[in-house]
Amino acid sequence: MTPVPSLARHPISVTEAQVYVTRTAARMRIQLFAEDLFLFHGLEPDARDILSPEQLRSGLQQHRQFLLDKVKLRDAKGEAFPGRVTDLQPFEIPDEGIAVDELMLHTAVYELEFPFSEPPEFLTVQQDISDENFIFPSEMKMVLHQAGTDLTYTESLKPGTAHTIRFDWNQPPLPDDATDADWRQWLEKQRQATLGITSYSSVYSFIYFEPAEVRHEVLIPLAALKTILPMQHTDPAFIEVEEQEAVRNLIREWLVDANPVTINDTAVKPEFTRIDFYGLDLKDFAQQAEQRRVSLANGRVGIIMTYRYADEAIRRAVVTWDTFHSSIRKVHSVIISGNDEMRKFEFSRFNEAADNQVEWAADLQDLPKEPEEVAAVVPGRPVLTIPVLSCVLLTISVVLLSKCGKNQRTAVTVSAILAVLTLPAAQWQVPHPWKPLPEISDADGIFRKLHQGAYGALAFGTEEQIYDALETAVDGSLLESLYLQLHESLRIREQGGAVARVRSVDYNDGRVISRESTPIEWPGFRYRSTWTVAGTVEHWGHIHERQNRFTALFDVRPEKGAWKITSMQVEDQENVSSRTSLRKF
């Protein structure tokens, strides 16, 4: 049996690792105490509590594969680089062996090499130096240096933890005499290159306050999440695609009743708009990540929770985060309000409860405006007036004149006079057969007010509110189809089909179609318009901007005293521009 007092004296494994990273390989020099051989390889001391030279040499050889199994370097996808031990510098072993309580006086050095097929953008260093029952803790003090630069990283790694470092092989290091301006420019380039997410083990959060919705987007390392939720996965290092839906369900159950949010003084539960799994590839944040297995060492889960208020626009909102754990002590947040104001905020388990709340009040000018109906002021239609009674009397006069003699001329004269006097009475009005129908004055203005009202309706949060707003500009029979068409035209596919927020609508061309070429009944009119709509979708501090140009035919008719769009036929659409930018904090 191994003497218990010896174990109690040295309950932890301490190693030092120096890592030198070039474009083609990482070389790691690990220095450790001889006690590690005793802790992890079952070496048995004799009755005098001494380990024999044979046992120590065997332990040194066993530790080669042990280090390759327990110390991993992973790429951006979490895949481990194959490694090999290139050198071993053992400690001196006396002929009589080494006493257990003297093992900490002896150190050995192992040199490992991990070749690369191409210069890595990311390296994740992970250590699991422990026994199979995780009885003996360990600590690795790591110093990592990138070749050709003055950049050195230091980190203390516990078992199961990982540390990720990003490398820039294209940007030359700054000289020793670099100015403060040079450093600021260099740091800005680094920030842009990393899309603002600079730590790969921290929890980030972006909170968006808008009159239509409140959105809380949380980015959590999978390694931290595993300490909180009982995630099931076959591979100890990865979560496969088919295993991710179960993790999503665990996340929903975990957060659905946590971190209360109130809107207009009413508690609102979250809608889990998206739960995505990310690796280290920063392009994942520029578009919705494709499904793939993710590494527990450097993977992250992005949770988007959306809060809406059914009855009216959001005037006040309070967001709380009070869910903490040993692996989530703080949440680094950026608050972005509807008027594009930004500020940083930190939720912390060390804060008072009131200090873990973010409050927001909308500027009344930013609230969506209730659209107004466009009154249908229709000009009179050209008519031909027929004096029926006068025509009858005049006809009688003509007949009498032709059939009667001179004695009846007085009666004829009287009939003719009566025909003239009764002109204003008993008249018929019929559509004028020769005069053209009058044009609708300001048809351009009427159409644009209706069209802008339709887009403006999308600023309301819920479908019910949007439909109510659309009814002021769109005929009831067209409501659903136009709503779907507008939504579809604003979808950004690479953001999972998210609907862009309309920023502007500019009209490139517009004209009324001549009545000769359209069957629409007067006073309605057909209008062809070309317009450009600019919209944005924002996630994780990244603004995805799109400009799309459309050409469509619209029918506009008066309905119950107001102009309404009654038909829309899209003839052409094209993407004018698209770009992704990062908010500057």
Res. 423 pLDDT band, cuts 50 70 90: very low
Question: Which residues lie across from 322 on neighbouring strands?
Answer: none
What pLDDT is stored for residue 399 in this prediction?
61
Percent over 70 (pLDDT), the chain: 80
Domain boundaries, the chain: 4-187, 204-366, 383-431, 439-582
C-alpha span between 39 and 56 (Å, rounded): 12
Res. 396 pLDDT band, cuts 50 70 90: low
Among 385, 389, 384, residue whose Cα is nearest residue 421: 389
What pLDDT is stored for residue 381 in this prediction?
67
What pLDDT is stored for residue 186 in this prediction?
67
Q: Tokens standing for 126?
A: 């992970």
**What's the rounded mean pLDDT across residues 11-37?**
91
User: Global pTM?
Assistant: 0.76
304 near 274, Cβ under 8 Å? yes
What pLDDT is stored for residue 400 in this prediction?
57
Q: DSSP string covering 10-77, please? A: --SEEEEEEEEE-SSEEEEEEEEETHHHHHHS-----TTSEE-HHHHHHHHHHHHHHHHHHEEEE-TT
Compute the Cα dihedral for 423, 429, 431, 435 and give only its sign.
positive
What pLDDT is stored for residue 287 in this prediction?
63
In the numeric block, the tokens 């024999």 are attached to 52
C-alpha span between 274 and 30 (Å, rounded): 42
Q: What is the pLDDT of residues 127-167, one digit of tens each?
A: 988 766 555 668 899 999 998 887 889 998 888 888 999 88
pLDDT at 386 over 60: yes
Higher-scoring residue by pLDDT: 311, 314: 314
pLDDT at 421 over 60: no
The CA dihedral of 47, 49, 50, 52, to the nearest 10 degrees, is 50
C-alpha span between 209 and 40 (Å, rounded): 53
Among 13, 106, 16, 15, residue whose Cα is nearest residue 56: 106
Q: What is the pLDDT of residues 444-487, one digit of tens each?
A: 999 999 999 998 888 887 788 888 888 998 988 888 888 888 87
Q: What is the pLDDT of residues 343-371, one digit of tens each?
A: 989 999 999 999 999 999 998 888 888 87
What pLDDT is stored for residue 6 in this prediction?
42
226 near 296, Cβ under 8 Å? yes
What pLDDT is stored for residue 498 in this prediction?
64
CATH number of 439-582: 3.10.450
Percent over 90 (pLDDT), the chain: 48
Q: Give the H or E element holding residue 465.
A: helix 463-470
480 near 463, Cβ under 8 Å? no
What pLDDT is stored for residue 494 in this prediction?
54
C-alpha span between 212 and 244 (Å, rounded): 30
423 near 387, Cβ under 8 Å? yes
Q: Name the average pLDDT for the chain.
A: 84
pLDDT at 585 over 90: no
What pLDDT is stored for residue 254 in this prediction?
97
pLDDT at 4 over 50: no
Number of Cβ atoms within 10 Å of the Cβ of 240? 12
Compute the Cα dihedral for 64, 65, 71, 75 and give only its sign.
positive
Beta strand 300-307 with 214-221: parallel, antiparallel or unpaired?
A: antiparallel
C-alpha atoms less than 13 angstroms from C-alpha of 519 in its C-beta half-sphere: 1
Q: Which residues contact 67 (CB under 8 A, 6 or more apart)?
A: 30, 85, 110, 112, 129
Q: Which residues contact 210 (CB under 8 A, 6 or more apart)?
A: 314, 337, 338, 501
Q: What is the pLDDT of residues 541-583, one digit of tens each?
A: 778 888 999 999 999 999 988 999 999 999 999 989 988 777 7
